[in-house]
Structure 1
Amino acid sequence: MLCAGKDGEADYAEEAKTEGYDGHLEWEGDTNKMLCMKYEFYEKILRLRQDGNKEDVMEVFDTLGVAASEIQMEYLCELLQQSQSAEMAKEALLIAICIGSRPLVELILTLFRDYPHEERAG
């Protein structure tokens, strides 16, 4: 897109167009590695619900490089540990979305296999 105006403005518009957004990450969620991570995360959540040990889940958060506070991660673990209804998983999903971690969102979505159709039910 070329702009009318002073010399150099058109060049700047063209440069900005091709430059792109530095924060955009390509998501490769269908790889075998991600599928293995989803399975392992689900298994760790099942163990968390049985024994209450948050260390394995917190390790996953550290591995993903989740940019959230320790308090947020502790609260997220508490939500994931409570398996009475899908409401806890929905709240955990919203927190992951707000944190802005696509891998964390994908991992939490795996928990909805215990609650079919709930991830689309508000």
Structure 2
Amino acid sequence: VSAAFGITALIFAVPYAYDALRFAGALYLVWLAWQALRPGGRSPFQVRELPKDRPRKLFVMGLMTNLLNPKVAVLYLSLLPQFINPAKGHVLSQLLVLGVTQISISLTVNAII
């Protein structure tokens, strides 16, 4: 959906947006390192007891993790535009149809496996 609505165009139009995204990611990694290395700090991978969460909260957490996954954005930004033909109709609808088709195939294959 992000690719369909022009995230690529935004990054090309505002080169600083890409740099801001990169630096935000780097700062997040530095913050995680500080949390693990500071005196009394805990590793994010340390095993600990967690409270039971409701299924709705777990679903939302998983959904947000997948929506914010940069690998998915890179896949769609690099793969889908190859199959878009502006002469065949509206570009947004073509991108959405291709995205929904790919997601449907992935869900079907995962259900079979």
TM-score normalized by the length of structure 1? 0.26
Structure with bigger RCO (C-alpha 8 Å, 6+ apart): 2
Higher helix share: 2
TM-score normalized by the length of structure 2? 0.27
Q: Name which one, 1 or 2, has greater alpha-carbon Rg.
A: 1
